[in-house]
Amino acid sequence: MPAAIFLSPEDAEHAYYEALRAGDTDALMAVWSEDEEIACIHPSGPRHVGPAAVRTSWQQILANAGLQVTVSQLQVARNPLCAVHSVLEQIQVEARPQARYAFVLATNVYMKEADGWRLVLHHASPAIGHEDTGAQLAQTHRLH
Amino acid sequence: MPAAIFLSPEDAEHAYYEALRAGDTDALMAVWSEDEEIACIHPSGPRHVGPAAVRTSWQQILANAGLQVTVSQLQVARNPLCAVHSVLEQIQVEARPQARYAFVLATNVYMKEADGWRLVLHHASPAIGHEDTGAQLAQTHRLH
């Protein structure tokens, strides 16, 4: 399979979250740079450095299923060779008896390489103070 | 006072942590880009966007004193216009009766602007699993 080519940071980020939803580690790693300096921090987890360690960390997370994740509140700082995306991730952590969500603040840094834009850093941490609106909505529905 | 000029990401990061130790908000903000897209996330805190909000957040943290912070485990991904620094911060949170430390994983992203390198993003989150070696050392000393 030829490596994917991303012509913009937005393309790369779209592919990244699609891969997470699909639970497809190969597609996910195709978004990452192959540079040994890449770093990935999962919420409340240690730092993983380099493609091999980053792949292993995602294989464990995606072992059973894809992540039901939606992204909002995109904030971007960029120049011609780099894009810094800050987003709020809403991840479904339970489906039954009612949907429950975890909220995560994530920083994704993309750099322009010879073959297109690639992810070089993902730093995620719990987002404190975000309402679990999904659960609240479900709760409201159950009460009526 | 003329704005500081940082000729490298390392210069900017050095000034950043010096300003934190000195509790000098003006010096700290001189390291940040003046771009409205800058973003700052303190450990377990919300996201602050733009120079005004970032300044206010630091003024609150530095209201009483500078941060006794030391930085290690620097990991760098960079290209000619951007440098992504991932570091472990050790912050002294108590001095007496014995030194106690909090450990924080921080991502600092610097971009090259017309007048030098500037910080555009700081994302910090608690570093789980890092030993509080300072306290342990003090404890050991007290036992002997």
| B127–A81 CB contact, under 8 Å | no
Q: What is the CATH number of the domain that holds B91?
A: 3.10.450.50
* A2 or B115: which leads in pLDDT: B115
Local confidence band at A132 (pLDDT 50, 70, 90 cut-offs) = low
What confidence score (pLDDT) does residue B138 get?
Answer: 41
What confidence score (pLDDT) does residue B125 get?
Answer: 97
Q: How many domains does chain B have?
A: 1
Which residues in chain B have their CB less than 8 angstroms from residue A121's CB?
77, 84, 86, 107, 109
pLDDT tens per residue, range A22-61: 999 999 999 999 999 999 999 999 999 999 999 999 999 9
Query: Is residue B131 a part of any domain in this protein?
Result: no
Which residues in chain B have their CB less than 8 angstroms from residue A75's CB?
37, 39, 47, 49
Query: Is residue B90 a part of any domain in this protein?
Result: yes
Say whether pLDDT at A123 is over 50.
yes
The set of residues, in sequence order, having a beta carbon less than 8 Å from that of A11 and lying 6+ positions away, is A117
What confidence score (pLDDT) does residue B43 get?
Answer: 95
| A109–B80 CB contact, under 8 Å | no
Say whether pLDDT at A144 is over 60.
no
Across A99-103, average pLDDT? 94
What confidence score (pLDDT) does residue B129 get?
Answer: 77
| Global ipTM | 0.89
Query: Is residue B139 a part of any domain in this protein?
Result: no
Return the sign of the alpha-carbon dihedral for residues A122, A127, A130, A136: positive
Across A101-128, average pLDDT? 97
Any A CB within 8 A of B97 CB: no
Query: Is residue A94 a part of any domain in this protein?
Result: yes
Nearest alpha carbon to residue B87 among B58, B48, B46, B119: B119
For chain B, which ranges sit under pLDDT 50? 1, 134-144
Model pTM?
0.90
pLDDT tens per residue, range B109-119: 999 999 999 99
What confidence score (pLDDT) does residue A139 get?
Answer: 42
What confidence score (pLDDT) does residue A33 get?
Answer: 98
pLDDT tens per residue, range A64-94: 899 999 999 999 999 999 999 999 999 999 8
Any A CB within 8 A of B115 CB: no
What confidence score (pLDDT) does residue A131 get?
Answer: 56
What confidence score (pLDDT) does residue B132 get?
Answer: 56
CA B67 to CA B57: how far, in whole Å? Answer: 14
**C-beta of residue A70 within 8 angstroms of C-beta of residue A79:** no
Any B CB within 8 A of A111 CB: yes
Instruction: Give the side-chain half-sphere CA count within 13 A for A32.
Output: 26
Any B CB within 8 A of A92 CB: no
pLDDT tens per residue, range B92-130: 998 889 999 999 999 999 999 999 999 999 999 999 877
What confidence score (pLDDT) does residue A84 get?
Answer: 98
Query: Is residue A110 a part of any domain in this protein?
Result: yes
Which residues in chain A have their CB less than 8 angstroms from residue B76's CB?
37
| A123–B44 CB contact, under 8 Å | no
Query: Is residue A1 a part of any domain in this protein?
Result: no
What confidence score (pLDDT) does residue A136 get?
Answer: 45
What confidence score (pLDDT) does residue B127 get?
Answer: 95
Query: Is residue A122 a part of any domain in this protein?
Result: yes
Nearest CA in chain A to B119: A77
CA B103 to CA A21: how far, in whole Å? Answer: 32
Query: Is residue B89 a part of any domain in this protein?
Result: yes
Q: How far is CA A112 from the centre of its chain?
A: 19
What confidence score (pLDDT) does residue B122 get?
Answer: 98
> Hey, how many other C-beta atoms are within 10 angstroms of the C-beta on A69?
17
Nearest CA in chain B to A78: B111
| B125–A125 CB contact, under 8 Å | yes
Across A87-110, average pLDDT? 94
| B37–A111 CB contact, under 8 Å | no
By residue range, what is the domain housing residue B91?
A: 9-126
